[in-house]
Amino acid sequence: MLIKTLAEFEKCHWVKLLAIDTETSSLNPREAELTGFGWGDNKTQYYIDWETCNFKEEVIKKLKEFLKHIELFSIMPNLI
């Protein structure tokens, strides 16, 4: 599900077991800039186009809070 607004983002589900995916402008970590951010579980997947997102601060705040309490997660850069 493509998330385009803060209201849509606020309705997203966050579970204790999920995967996080990042899309970047380059495979070289020294040159790469974030272009997209996705997460999900075995039922629902979400994606934010970082370049057009106008609620980045809210996303970062939610992610920081969420990662404090998570038991297990996977981060997968550029796999899609």
pTM of this prediction?
Answer: 0.76
pLDDT confidence of residue 48: 96
Please check whether residue 21 lies inside any domain of the structure: yes
Please check whether residue 1 lies inside any domain of the structure: no
Q: Which residues pair with 46 in a beta bridge?
A: 39
Please check whether residue 62 lies inside any domain of the structure: yes
Reply yes or no on whether the pLDDT at 57 is more than 70.
yes
Structural domain that includes position 30? 6-77
Please check whether residue 59 lies inside any domain of the structure: yes
Please check whether residue 23 lies inside any domain of the structure: yes
pLDDT tens readout for residues 1-50 = 999 999 999 888 887 767 788 899 998 889 999 999 888 887 889 999 99
Please check whether residue 26 lies inside any domain of the structure: yes
- Count: domains in the chain: 1
Please check whether residue 37 lies inside any domain of the structure: yes
Higher pLDDT, 61 or 43: 61
Q: What is the pLDDT averaged over residues 50-65?
A: 92
User: Which parts of the chain fold into alpha helices (H)?
Assistant: 6-10, 56-69
Contact 35, 23 (CB under 8 A): yes
Please check whether residue 30 lies inside any domain of the structure: yes
